[in-house]
Chains A and B, each alone.
Chain A
Amino acid sequence: MTNKKRIATCWLDGCSGCHMSFLDMDELLLELGDRLELVYSPLVDRKEFPDGVDLALLEGAVSTRDDAAKARLVRSRSRLVAAVGDCAVTGNVPGMRNRLDNGELLELVYGRPGDDQPGPPTVDVPPLLPQCLPLHREIEVDVFLPGCPPPASGFVRLLEAVLEGRDLTELPTLKFG
């Protein structure tokens, strides 16, 4: 029915700040809305990641098996995958646990079970992987958009490049941190 580009966003181990920055495109979102369709995102109400996505923007690092499975699913159903934000690109703050022992860390945060403390959660949240990894250690990534968060202008440039079918390797990096 349409030749709009199909865009998806997904949120792994991050703080949602990159999605906030995506929304910071403000009125440009309306203009882009004529040319692209947001087919899956925490910002829209769709439960299953669809097939045939042109560009998937992934925020956050890979910290659990659940994150890894999501990342692989997104990769298998998307033509282009962008690692969005420092967490997806480098591991950033979630990756700071990599030099610590997971067990010690969880005890430090949640207490030791039994000592009047709940202890680390065992239901509803997936267990941590031994290391928190940048996205490209789990799946192939086509373009990197670092920044904590990446500026809204970075999203604009990326989306416009995809809409116009330009070479993504030519996109300049705007900032880290």
Chain B
Amino acid sequence: MSGGRVITLTIDDRDCGAREEQTILEVARENGIFIPTLCHLGGLHPVGACRICIVDVEGIARPQPACVTRPVEGMRVATDSPGLRRQRRLILELMLAEGNHVCSVCVVNGHCELQELALQLGVDHLELPALYPRREVDASHPRFSLDRNRCVLCTRCVRVCSEIEGAHTWDVMGRGLASTVISDLNQPWGEAESCTTCGKCVQVCPTGALFDKGKAPGEMRKRHSFLPLLTAMREEE
């Protein structure tokens, strides 16, 4: 905590009080202002990986990710406009076009954060041509599987494994379209010695990329309510 200096800013023309270590997303949520998110998850460090939470800040030409932008005295933030909606939809379309997101055969169909976001943002089809990449499935772990076709590189699995479990089994390898989640030194998950089989990565994954084995389409529900509790309890210690 940095002395608790209070900053005043406006979000959607509403006066808001904030502490300087907060983010625009946190302040907006405290004030009941909704900003859509995907990679953000309470209890994990924000990384601004997905850019769905972009907002307009007066005086800055490009939209800024609300999850990693700090409030500044007198800042004027707009969270919703036709332009922002269009940009958010395009970002989501790029994500969908880059993977193989086939809802009807997915374990989290009906309980998927990516699917929910598409409905929320009104993405009912892709204007962009889909790439249909060939991506690998890793089913070498005895309890869980990784289907990279459904991965949006939000890095929640990487962060929960490193920050909460302390194992850092997961990381991201490659650049651009070749980026992929890997376990240990790009070994099959089942051979990754650092993995404790805690399953936190599976629970925080917003899509069906990480899932329990033996689940049929639509059967998998993710539970990450443990995360803010764990973080809060550790802060108390």
Contact = CB atoms under 8 A, between A and B. Distances in A.
Contacts of A86: 102-104
Contact of A177 (B104, B124, B125, B130): B104
A177 B126 contact: no
Contact of B125 (A83, A93, A174): A83
Interface of B: 100-106, 109-110, 112, 115, 118-119, 122, 124-126, 129-130, 132-135, 218
Contacts of B119: 173-176
B125 A90 contact: yes
Interface stretch (A26-34, A41-49, A71-79, A131-139): A131-139
A99 B105 contact: no
Interface string A148-177: 100000000000000000000000011111
A13 to B, nearest CB: 14
Contact of B100 (A99, A136, A146, A148): A99
B106 A177 contact: yes
A89 to B, nearest CB: 5
Contacts of B104: 86, 92-93, 148, 177
A131 B104 CA distance: 19
B124 A146 contact: yes
B201 to A, nearest CB: 23
14 contacts: A86-B103, A90-B126, A93-B102, A95-B102, A95-B130, A95-B132, A99-B132, A99-B133, A134-B125, A137-B129, A144-B124, A175-B119, A176-B103, A177-B218
Given A148-B104, A176-B118, A177-B110, A89 B125 contact: yes
A91 B133 CA distance: 14
Contact of A93 (B105, B124, B129, B218): B105
A148 B103 CA distance: 8
Contacts of B105: 93, 96
A102 interface: no
B130 A96 contact: no
B175 to A, nearest CB: 21
